[in-house]
Every structure is written in structure tokens, then in C-alpha cells.
Structure 1
Amino acid sequence: MNPSASGWIEKYGSVVQKHQNAFPDFDALYSTLKKSGFVYGLNSSIPDFIPFEHSLSEDEKAKINLLNALYFTYYLNEGKGDYVHFVEQVYKFYEVLKINRAGFFGKLLTGNKTSAKLEKLLASRIYIEDNIFSKTFNSLITNSLLFVDVLLFKHYLNGVDDLKTKAEEIEYLAINITYHALSSKEQNRKDNKLSQLLASSLTYINCAENNFDGSYRDRLLNNKEIWENRYLLDMACLTVWEDHSLDYTESEFIFGIGKDLGIENHLISESIMHVTEFFRQNLDTIPYLKEKNLAHQFYDSMGKIVKKLILRNSKRLHKELSQSAELVALLSKSTVRDLSRDEKKKVQNQLIDIFKSIPSLAIFILPGGAILLPIFIKLIPKLLPSAFDENRIDEEEKSTNN
């Protein structure tokens, strides 16, 4: 099976029919997804029963693991393996979440067969525009949130009405836990930058009424979804272990989070053990795990990505910005002072409208993409100075006046 060639979803369907009993329950599925790294956003392997034609990239492994996770979530929930119905259900699920709207990705979803459209859709969940994401951003943010798709699909199959609200809730808790996990560490300058970045991102996921004072833990206490809680705990473990160490304060934080989530101590210990073992086994197969502190790599890489996107789309951005005096004024203010929550919300709404009109900037609308917005806002005035200087005279205007 080649997940980079057309027809791979139908090929998976023919293969999985012979392995319907690969996962007797969701616990077995989740354990395998952790072992493969899918839950952590660091895909190192795929299920043993799936053949492949060539050495798979991490992106290709992520696509296979996502489809496999969605299929067996469907199979275990519905008690049947009707593959055609499964493909239709997954596509409808993403349609409910508005992931497949043409406005976001132009002509991304083309073709008549649902499986062909789903291939392009799943590819868009992993990367856009020939892997414009660096490996760090791709894995630690976008791909680490892919398991949210699985949790939401489970809710979809059980008839949950407002999936968008549920998605925001899970993402909010995941980012809050990540932030506080970083805060439990002995931070250096880059860790502080990353913490501030995560804090800023909350304004951009419809959670402006919340903050990082610990009140998010009230939501944890009220969250009774077992697999959401297990996933959130694993996200916390991944974050505190990212520098390959776990001190007393970090361990205390993990057990505190686990208690809030209603998870027994032996399962909390297992979660720490699993992420430790994953790091140990995959240092050679996932090279950037060797970086002493992934927070350094993470922050620096995101800045480079956003800078590249702004420069590549500078003319279009300049044109769009010139049509919004209020947005330019707010972005100019952001260079000298912190914006208020209402001002940040205005910036968010107007930037999202711009992102929808520029396909290359669609990454800011993907799950996790909101985390890039503070960097984007910080870099725009530096990279597009003419948009923020109303008295600047362009060279073209000079030649006209002369």
C-alpha cells in the first residue's frame, strides 16, 4: 500500500477486511496508537497487518494511522465492518466540522468518488503544500492534535449534536494542559517564550473568557469522557518529558492532573512509562527527538515558518491589509503595547477572513494553527512595513510625482 498514491484508501479497505479482529476493544486500539506514536504526534510505525511498497515517511505513517484509528473506532462502535458506509461516514463527519469546505483549500477536494475526496482530505489533515510545515511544527502541534479527530468521530457516531463546540473544548484543555506542563518545568528563556505563545493562542480559539490561572482544572473535574482524559494525560506526559527528564515538580504536576481527570495512580505511572519508553526506542528513528529541548526547536521553527509564509504572500497580504484600516491600526498598536481581549478578537476575525482568501495561509485555520497567530501578528509589521506607515511614499509614487 502506498499512501502517497491514489487509491490507497480503497486498498486499505481490502486489507483490513481480513483483520477485523485486530483490536478487540478501544483500549487495545489506543495502546497501539500510543506505541506507534500517533497519539504523541510522532509516528514511528504502522499496524503490523498493513503491507507497504516502500520505506514510509512520517507523514505517510500518520495518514495510515489516522485512517486505521478512524476505521476501528467505527468498527468497535457500530459492531460491523461495512467499509463503504465507513468511508461515507468519515467524509460526512469532516463535512459537519466544515473541514472539507472548498473555501479553505480551493479545489482541494475534487473527484467523484468519496474515497478519492477523502484521500485528499486526510492528506490536508497532515500537511499542506508539499510539506511547508517543518517537521517540528508538523509533529508537535498539527499531528499531535490528530487524535482529537478520532475522539470527535467517536462522538459523531454516538450522535453528539455540536461537534464544533466539543472540538474547541478538547483543544482548549489540551493547550491549557500543555501550557501548565511547561510551567511546571524549570524554564529557560525559550520555554517562557513558548509558554507566552500558548497563552496568547487561547484568545484565538473562542476561549477568551478563560485564562491560565488554573481555572481550567474545574473543567477537567467535570469531564467524564474516559478516552479524552487518557489522551489529555498523555499530552501532559509528552510535554514534561520533551527535554528527556522528569523532576519532582513535573511528576507532582502529572499526578495532580491525573487525579483531576479521575485516572488511577497505576495508569498515571503507566502513561509516564509509555512516553519514556517511546523516547528511548525512537531516538534513532525520529532524529529530532535527540534535540535536548524540543521547546527551543519548536519555537524557532514556527517563527521561520510564519516568516516564510508572510514573505511568499507579501503582495497579496499587503493588498488585503490595505483594505482594512482598522486591522492595520490594531496591528500597529500591537508593536508598542499588548492588545486588549476585544482588540485581539477583532484581529482574529479579520485575519481569518484574509486567510480564507489566501490558500497558502489556510494552515492558520487548521487545528493547532491558532498557536501561530501571535507570531504572525508580531512579524507582519516587520516584514510588511509599508502597510503600517501611512505617510510612506512608494518608489512608484515618487516616479509619478516627478
Structure 2
Amino acid sequence: MINPSANGWIDKFFIENNDNFIDFQGNTLSFYEDCRATGFIYGYVVCYQLQNQINTTKWSYDEVTKVGFLNTLFSVYCLEKNNGSKEEFIDLVYQFYKIIQPENLNFIKKLLPEGSLSYRLESIIDERIQTNSNTISKNFSHIITNALLFIDVLAFEHFLKNNTLPADYLKNIESDCIKIVSLALKIKEKKSKYDELLVKLFENSIRYTKFNSIENIELAEIKLIRYSSFMEKLYLLDIAQMALWSDEKLEPKEIDFLKQLSLDLELDASLLEKSSNEINNFITKYKEEIPFFNYSNPIKHFYDQANKNVTKLIIRNKDRLTKEIKESGELMQLLAKSTTKDLSKEEKKKVKKQILDICKTVPSLTIFLLPGGGLLLPILIKFIPQLLPSAFNENLEDS
């Protein structure tokens, strides 16, 4: 039996499932629709792309997701390589991540100097999955970050097709996903503060993009023409569907938006209808299990819990954090300025960058540097005035 938390689980997974993988015979649509049925597209894995399912009753959700991630990457590899092997797949995945996150790969290499590539891949997958352990509430955030995890799969497909990956590929597709989500929510007839907060959560769950604002953007401004992969197009459509599903009803304007998006992506109308039906069926079936839909106010619930946990973490590191902030001259100046007037976009970017640099020097605060850690950064920034001299707090009260 595989234990996805023990070293060697990847090799064991391939040994135990050698004859269990599905042959999609090069059919991308068949692969994608099967992947959609597993829940991986939606960030909530309920089964695997295997002929016979694995018993996961004793696994944590993070373990289920890790195996789902590996299985999906391998399925894409098999889709592109007719006569591939497990060894070549592991080598290619490792080379792929060496391109998109070289610093982390160097760290893993030093950590496991004698480890096989499969052992190193285990460490990479651990890092990619948003576990939310200890400091982050598991009630909400992973449904966002793991939905965007499929972007890694799309990038890996591009890498396999072209033997390379453009430097801006991940940034482009990630930012376009966020723009589409924002547009989808903005056309809702009945908006709530939680829809707006959902946009912020998506914005803060991004891994590759320094993304500031999506105000006043139009669908025509998004460069959808750059997406030539059938799978990319299907995923962008599904992302929009996910954003619009929250009230379980599509209004006429929402339907028109999806039709226009589908048209701009050059997808057949039947694919839009099938996407709508499948996401409705999936979420209706698993709604009680999916954290996103399991609370009346899931986003507020997440922020309340995360605020408590992160506040405790900051308090434990208060002295070290205060010292680092005081020693950062430009950051102190910007924070002082922020108490009397609004900072420009460029100044806000500087504050965020310098705070993240400080987090790198405090081991307990490296949580803010992990995938999904951006979700928590606003909580840290909000807490900072309490760490600074009283003059800062007085200015805040007067402003």
C-alpha cells in the first residue's frame, strides 16, 4: 500500500499501477474531460485517472492531492509520448521544474545530494501542493490554490510539445486566469462582498505573477489569441464557470459572457454546454465535501481563522520582525508615509517586496513565501503598525 508521506512513494506508485494507467490514445479532449471528472481541475480530487481506483480512505487530503497531481502530470506525458517510460517522465518533470523554479531545485539538490530523481520529485510535489498545515486554516484556501495548480500541468504540456518554456508563459496564463475570474464575477446581477473577496483570494493565490490591479479590464483586452493548446482553452473556460457557479444559477448576462469567451477561444458551442453541465454535476454531488461550498460565508470564515493563526505566528517573532523592519530604511520611510497618505502602486510593490525579503530572514515567517502564502500577506501588513514606534500608531489614528 502506498504511503504518500513516506520516502519512495512515487516509485511504489508506478510499481503498483504499472498496468493500471488509462491510454487516452492521443485524444486531448478525452483526457481533459476525464481529468475534470477527477476534480483536479476544480482543486478537489475525488478519484484518479486510473482504470481501477486506489483505496485512499486512510489518506489525508494533501496525500490524495499529491497522488492526483503526479497522476495528472504522467497522463499528460503519456498523451504526448507514445512510447515513453516512467524514468523518462521523472527526468522530464525534474527538468521542467528546474526551469520554472531553479532556486528551489538547487535547495532540494543540496538537501538530497544522493537522492534519486524520483525522491527529489517527491520533494517538489510536496512544495507544490498547498498543504495549509499549522498556520493556515484548511477550511478554504486550498480549494483556490490547488485549482490554479492545473496551470503547472498546462505548462508541462507546453514544455513537452516544444522542449522549452517561454519565460513569460506562466505569468501570462496565471494573470489571464485572474482577469477572467474577475470579469466573470463583475457581470453578476447580484453581487456580494464575498464575490469581491473571492477575486482578492485568487489574486493572492498566484505563484508566478506580480499582479496589481484588474480594474476596468475588458474581455477583448485579454490576449486569448496566444492560447493555441486545446487544453489551455478548455481550462480558461472552466475557470470562468467556476467563478460563476457560486450562486448555482446563470443569469442572461453571465451566459452571454461565457458564450463570448467560448467564441474568442474558438471552442465549439457544444463544449461550453458540456463544461456547464459537468461542473454543475460535480459540485452538486460533492458540495457537502468541498470546503469552498461547505460554509455559509467560507471566505470570511477563512480570513477569521487565518487572522488568528497568523497573528500568533507574528507575535512569537515580534522582536526579530521589528528589528528587521527598523533596519530597513526605505521600508520605514514608506510605512511612515502610508500613515498620512496613500502610497502609489510602485510604492506598494516596494513595501510588499521588502516585507517578503524580511520574511526570508525569519525562518518561521517563510510561510509567506510558499505557494498560497500571498493569501496571508495582507494580514501581516495590517499587523505591522503595532510593531512600530507609537508615532506610527498616532498617525494612523489621526489619518
> TM-score, normalised on structure 1?
0.83
Please state if 1:172 is matched with 2:175.
Answer: yes
Aligned-partner residue type, residue 46 of structure 2? S
Distance 1:315 1:223, change over 3 A: same
Aligned to 2:20: 19
Aligned to 2:33: 31
Q: Could you give the per-residue CA deviations for residues 221-273 of structure 1, whole angstroms, max 9, x where no partner exists?
A: 32333222211111111111124333333333322322222222221122121
Aligned to 2:244: 240
Q: Could you give the per-residue CA deviations for residues 316-368 of structure 1, whole angstroms, max 9, x where no partner exists?
A: 32232122121123234345543212102212332232233334444444445
Aligned to 2:60: 57
Distance 1:200 1:289, change over 3 A: closer
Aligned-partner residue type, residue 11 of structure 1? K
Aligned to 2:146: 143
Identical-pair percentage: 36
Aligned to 1:397: none
Distance 1:329 1:65, change over 3 A: same
Please state if 1:153 is matched with 2:156.
Answer: yes
Q: Could you give the per-residue CA deviations for residues 70-117 of structure 1, whole angstroms, max 9, x where no partner exists?
A: 111112112223111211211121121116627888986675122112
Q: Pairwise mapping of residues 94-173 of structure 1 onto structure 2 (< 5 A)?
A: 94-98=97-101, 101=104, 112-127=115-130, 130=133, 132-159=135-162, 161-173=164-176
Following superposition, the deviation at residue 7 of structure 1 comes to: 1.4
Distance 1:175 1:26, change over 3 A: same
Mapped to 1, the partners of 2:33 and 2:140 lie a distance apart of 24
| Contact 1:2 1:52 (8 Å CA) reproduced | no
Following superposition, the deviation at residue 168 of structure 1 comes to: 0.8
Aligned to 1:394: none
Mapped to 2, the partners of 1:85 and 1:275 lie a distance apart of 34
| Contact 2:7 2:119 (8 Å CA) reproduced | yes
Aligned to 1:266: 270
Mapped to 1, the partners of 2:373 and 2:200 lie a distance apart of 16
Please state if 1:9 is matched with 2:10.
Answer: yes
Q: Which shifted more, 102-111 or 260-269? A: 102-111
Distance 1:264 1:381, change over 3 A: farther
Q: May I ask how many residue pairs the two structures share in their alignment?
A: 389
Q: Tell me the C-alpha RMSD between the 2 structures.
A: 3.3
| Contact 2:38 2:48 (8 Å CA) reproduced | yes
Distance 1:255 1:387, change over 3 A: farther
Q: Could you give the per-residue CA deviations for residues 273-319 of structure 1, whole angstroms, max 9, x where no partner exists?
A: 11111111112333552324544445545545543443343333223
Q: Pairwise mapping of residues 206-217 of structure 1 onto structure 2 (< 5 A)?
A: 206-207=210-211, 211-215=214-218, 217=220
Aligned-partner residue type, residue 135 of structure 1? K
Find 1:291's aligned residue among 295, 299, 305: 295
Aligned-partner residue type, residue 231 of structure 2? W
Q: Which shifted more, 339-348 or 255-264? A: 255-264
Aligned-partner residue type, residue 176 of structure 2? L
Mapped to 2, the partners of 1:267 and 1:304 lie a distance apart of 43
Distance 1:285 1:328, change over 3 A: same
Following superposition, the deviation at residue 154 of structure 1 comes to: 1.2
Q: Which shifted more, 119-128 or 31-40? A: 119-128
| Contact 1:330 1:347 (8 Å CA) reproduced | yes
Distance 1:381 1:194, change over 3 A: farther
Mapped to 2, the partners of 1:326 and 1:201 lie a distance apart of 27
Please state if 1:358 is matched with 2:373.
Answer: no
> TM-score, normalised on structure 2?
0.84
Mapped to 2, the partners of 1:199 and 1:11 lie a distance apart of 37
Aligned-partner residue type, residue 6 of structure 1? N
Mapped to 2, the partners of 1:388 and 1:33 lie a distance apart of 55
| Contact 1:242 1:295 (8 Å CA) reproduced | no
| Contact 1:332 1:381 (8 Å CA) reproduced | no
| Contact 2:62 2:129 (8 Å CA) reproduced | yes
Following superposition, the deviation at residue 207 of structure 1 comes to: 4.3
Following superposition, the deviation at residue 62 of structure 1 comes to: 1.0
Mapped to 2, the partners of 1:245 and 1:293 lie a distance apart of 18
Secondary structure of the corresponding residue to residue 133 of structure 1: coil
Find 2:260's aligned residue among 239, 242, 256: 256
Mapped to 2, the partners of 1:355 and 1:104 lie a distance apart of 18
Aligned to 2:43: 41
